[in-house]
Amino acid sequence: MAKEEVKKEKKSSYGADAITVLEGLEAVRRRPGMYIGTTGTDGLHHLIWEVFDNSRDEAMGGFADDIEVVLLPDNLIRIADNGRGIPVDMHKQTKVSALETVMTTLHAGGKFGGEGYKVSGGLHGVGVSVVNALSEWMRTEVHRDGGAYTQEYVRGKKKVAVKKVGPSRLHGTVQTYLADKEIFTTTVDYDFDKVVSHLREQAYLVKGLRITIIDARGSGINFTEVGKELYIRSYLSQAPSQTFYFEGGLRSLISFYNRHLKPVHKNVFYIEKEVDDVAVEIALQYVDDISPRVLAFANNIFNNEGGTHVTGFRTALTRTLNAYARKSGGIRESEENFTGDDVLEGLTAVVSVKMREIQFEGQTKGKLGSVEARGATENVFGEAFSLFLEENPEDARAIVSKSVLALKARKAAKAAKDSVMRKGALEGMSLPGKLADCQTKDASESELFVVEGDSAGGTAKTGRDRRTQAILPLRGKILNVERARLDKMIASEQIKNLVVALGTAIGDVFDISKLRYHKIIIATDADVDGAHIRTLILTLFYRHFKPLIEGGFIYIAQPPLYKIKRGKEIIYAYSDEEKAKVVGKEEVIEDGEAAAEENAAAGAEGEAEETEVKTKKTRTHIQRYKGLGEMNAEELWETTMDPARRILKQVNIEDAQDADKVFDILMGEDVSSRKSFIQSNAKLANLDI
C-alpha cells in the first residue's frame, strides 16, 4: 500500500468511535503511573501516604490528634484516626452517600472548596479514591453522630450501599485495604523503616499529633476479630511499633536532623506566624559542616525541588545576614557582601508554609508554585531572623563568622579553580597520564572503570575492550571530601585526575553535557579497604557530582568471590550462597593437602585462598579472590568487564535525606555516631574478614 493511502486510512479511522470514555475509577487502573508516579515500591508506599494524608489533614484542621497505621498480615494496611469521620448522609449532586462519593469519585472531597478544610495537602486528584481503585479490596469504617457505618469496595467499585452496623460513642475513620497485585509490578512487600521515616517527619510537622506505626505482619491477628475498635494497638502489644509525638514541632525536627553534627550556635531559631492567609513556620541552625540542608514543605507535603517559599527564605536570609554583618562589623566596608551560597554553607533549615489555595508545579508536588508564598515567607522570616540576631549576639557572631569563613573559602576555591582552568586541566585539554582512554568519542557507548591500584589497573587495561572501555587507576585512598573545600580537593592529584577524566569540570562550572562516559564503574576489591575506597569515591560523587547519580551514570562492579573448577568446567560464584549451590553441602569433603600440592606444582601466585574438595563424582577446586589484581586479564574480562556477562549495580538515591544522613555519619567527625551506626548495620553488610 502506498504511503499516501496509509495516511488517509489512519486519518479516516479517527472518529468519535475512537474516543474511549473510562467510567468511574477505570482511568486510574488503566494509567496508575499518572496518579501515583510508579507501580513499583515507591508507588506501593505512596498508597499509605495518601490514606494517611486524609487523617493528617483532619489533624491540621484541629479535628484529630491521634493516628494509627498498622501493617497487618496478608499485606493488609489499616489506618485509623479520631477525626470527624467522613460524612455518610446523601450527597445532593451524586445521589449516593457522601462516603461513597469520596471513595469512588475522582476530585471529590472536602478539599475542593467549601468549609471542609482550611488547609490540606490534596488538590491534585490523587487521594483515597485512587487508593481504592488500586486495591483488590477496601473497607471504610466511619464513626460519627452516634453510629458506626461501613462500606466495602472491590477494585474501586462498591459491593453494597453504606450501612449502619450499630451505635458508637467514637468519632473517626478507619481505612483498611489490600493493594492490587495486578497493578504493582513489584512483590507487595512493605518496608517498615520507610513507613516509620516518612511518618516521623509528619509528626514533627504537626505539633501535638500522636502517630503510632505498628508492624503486625508476624502477629497472626485476624483483623476481623478486633471488633468495632478505632485503634487496635491494645491487641498488638507485642508487635514492633513506633510512636511519635512532638510539641516542639520544627525545633524538634532541626535537633533530629543535626543529632550527628556539631552546632555552630546554641539556640535553634524558630518562627511561626500567619500573614495574608499564609501560615509560615521556619526553624534553622548552623552546624560545623560545608553542606547546606534546606527542607521545604507546603501543606506538609515535602517539596524536593523547593519553590516560591524557598526563594523567599533564601532572599531574606542573604539580605538579613548581610545587613547585620555590616552593622556589627563582621564585614568591613571594603569587603564584598555574602552571596546566597555563603550564607547557606552548614545551614540546616526547615521551611514550611500552609495555605488554603495552593498550587504546585507538576503532579508530584515537588515544587511549590504559589506566588503569595514567596512574599509571606520573605517578610515573616526576614523580620523574625533580624530580631533573633539582635537578641542573641553570641549566636549572631557565630553565624556571621561561619558565613565569613565560607566567603573566604569561596574566594580561595575560585582562585585555585581558575589556576587549574588556565592550565586547561579541567577542560580536557590534558588528560591524566594514568588514564588509558577508549577509542570511541561517543559518550553514550563509553565506559570508565575507576579501579583500585596500579596492579588491577594494569590487568584491566590488558583485558578491556579498547574501543569502548577506559581505565583510570587510583592510588590508595582518595581524600575524604565530606569536609574538604574545593581548593583542597583540586590540590589532590587523585581527585583532579578523576575530575579531568570525567570532563564535566566541578563546582559552579559543572556541565553534565560534557560528560565523556555514560557509564562510570567503580571497581574495588571485595575487602574492607576496597569498601572504604568505594565509599570515599561515592562521597565525592554524592557531594559534588550528584547529577551523575541522579542521571544513572554511576555503577559498582560486582566481581566474583570464587572461581570453581570442576574437571574442565569453570564456574564463578558471586556469593557464599552461590558457591554452596555449585559445590553442594552434603557431598563436600575438604582436602587441603591435595590443594596445597597442586598449587605448589602450578606455582600459584598472589594471596588467593585455594582449597580442593572431593565429591562423590569428581574433584572440585575452589579459589577465593581477595582482589581484582589476583585475576588475570582473561578472568577479569569474563567476570567483571564483559557487558554480556558482568554484573553491575546502578547507584541511585531513593531518599536523599537518608543518604545525606548516612554520609554525615560515615564520613563525618562524630566517632560515637559512626561506631553506633556500624554496630547497628553490621549484619546488613558484606564483610571480608
**Is 89 considered catalytic here?**
no
Contact predicate 216/68, CB 8 Å: no
Grid coordinates standing for 78?
489499616
Q: What stretch of H or E contains 662?
A: helix 656-667
| Strand order, beta sheet including 554-557 | 469-474, 447-452, 519-523, 554-557, 648-650
Burial annotation 265-300 (CB, 10 A radius, 16+ → b, else e): beebbbbeeeeeebbbbbbbbbbebbbbbbbbbbbb
User: Residue 424 in 3-state DSSP?
Assistant: coil
> Where does 303-358 show beta strands of DSSP type E?
347-355
Interhelix angle 192-205/41-60, rounded to 10 degrees, is 30
Instruction: Check 454, 527, 598, 669 and give the catalytic one.
Output: 527
Contact predicate 289/483, CB 8 Å: yes
Cα diameter, the chain: 92
**Is 609 considered catalytic here?**
no
End-to-end CA distance of the chain: 69
By DSSP bridging, strand 147-154 and strand 589-590 are unpaired
Calculate the dihedral angle through the C-alpha atoms of 223, 224, 225, 230, rounding to the nearest 10 degrees. 70
Task: Give me the DSSP letters along 406-438.
Answer: HHHHHHHHHHHHHHHHHTTGGGTSS--TT-B--
**In the beta sheet, which residues pair with residue 179?**
135
Instruction: Check 452, 482, 635, 638 and give the catalytic one.
Output: 452
CA distance 403 to 386: 16
Indicate the residue type of 416: A
438 to 108, 466, 531: CA distances (angstroms):
58, 5, 26
Residue found under cell 514533627: 204
Residues contacting residue 95 through CB under 8 Å, at least 6 positions apart: none
**Is 527 considered catalytic here?**
yes
Q: What stretch of H or E contains 578?
A: helix 576-583
Instruction: Check 525, 612, 630, 664 and give the catalytic one.
Output: 525
Q: Is 307 exposed, middle or buried (0-12, 13-18, 19+ CB in 10 A)?
A: buried
CA distance 184 to 43: 8
CA distance 536 to 440: 29
Q: What angle do CA 92, 93, 97 make, to 5 degrees?
A: 60
Comparing CA positions, the residue from 488, 498, 338, 496 lying closest to residue 403 is: 338
Instruction: Check 26, 145, 529, 591 and give the catalytic one.
Output: 529
Which long-range CB contacts under 8 A does 340-343 form with residues at least 24 apart? 340/314, 341/406, 341/410, 342/403, 342/406, 342/407, 342/410, 343/317, 343/318, 343/403, 343/406
Residue found under cell 598472589: 606
> Where does 249-362 show beta strands of DSSP type E?
269-275, 278-286, 293-298, 301-302, 347-355
Task: Give me the DSSP letters along 230-269.
Answer: S--GGGGTTS-EEEE--SSTHHHHHHHHTTTS-BSSSSPE
**Is 437 considered catalytic here?**
no
Grid coordinates standing for 67?
493516628
CA distance 75 to 87: 28
CA distance 625 to 611: 12
Residues with catalytic roles: 452, 525, 527, 529
